[in-house]
C-alpha cells in the first residue's frame, strides 16, 4: 500500500512548523490557519494604511458574515463598533 503524503509544511516567513491547510490566493503561499489569519490581517492593514482608508476618530462597524457569499452588501451577522485611535 502506498504511503499517503501528508500536507506540506506552512510557508510562513515566521518559520512555523505546522502543516499547511490553506493556499493564499494573493501569492499562492501555503499556510497553516494561524499564519493565514495573521497574513490576511497584515494585508488588510497594509491596504488600509497605504490608501488612507480610515482617519483618527472614524467609527467602523465590523461584522461577521455567515453566508460566505459575495452578494450580501449589508452587515447581517454580529456587529462590533470601534473607533480609530
Ligand atoms: Zn504557520
Decide which of 42 and 81 is more confident: 42
CA of 35 to the centre of ligand 1 (A): 4
* Separation of CA 10 and ligand 1 centre (Å): 5
d(CA 49, CA 55): 10
Whole-number Å distance, alpha carbon 20 to ligand 1 midpoint, is 7
Q: What is the pLDDT of residue 76?
A: 60
CB 31 within 8 A of CB 24: yes
Quote the ligand 1 centre to 70 CA distance (angstroms): 27
Helical ranges in the chain per DSSP H: 33-50
Distance 26 CA to ligand 1 centre (A): 16
Q: Which residues face 41 on adjacent strands?
A: none
Q: Locate 22 and state its grid cell.
A: 490553506
Residues 34-73: pLDDT tens digits? 999 999 999 989 998 999 998 888 988 876 666 655 555 5
Tell me, in angstroms, the distance from the centre of ligand 1 to residue 14's CA: 8
The predicted structure's pLDDT at residue 2: 60
* pLDDT of 85 strictly over 90: no
Q: Per-residue pLDDT tens for 2-29?
A: 666 888 999 998 889 999 999 998 899 9
pTM: 0.64
Q: How many CB atoms lie within 10 A of CB 83?
A: 10
Find, among 13, 15, 45, the residue nearest to 29 by Cα: 13
Amino acid at each position: 500500500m502506498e504511503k499517503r503524503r501528508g500536507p506540506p509544511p506552512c510557508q510562513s516567513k515566521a518559520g512555523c512548523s505546522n502543516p499547511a491547510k490553506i493556499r493564499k490566493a494573493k501569492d499562492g503561499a501555503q499556510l497553516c490557519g494561524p499564519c493565514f489569519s495573521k497574513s490576511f490581517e497584515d494585508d488588510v492593514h497594509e491596504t488600509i494604511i497605504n490608501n488612507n482608508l480610515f482617519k483618527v476618530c472614524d467609527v467602523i462597524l465590523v461584522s461577521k458574515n455567515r453566508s460566505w457569499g459575495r452578494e450580501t452588501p449589508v452587515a447581517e451577522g454580529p456587529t462590533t463598533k470601534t473607533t480609530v485611535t
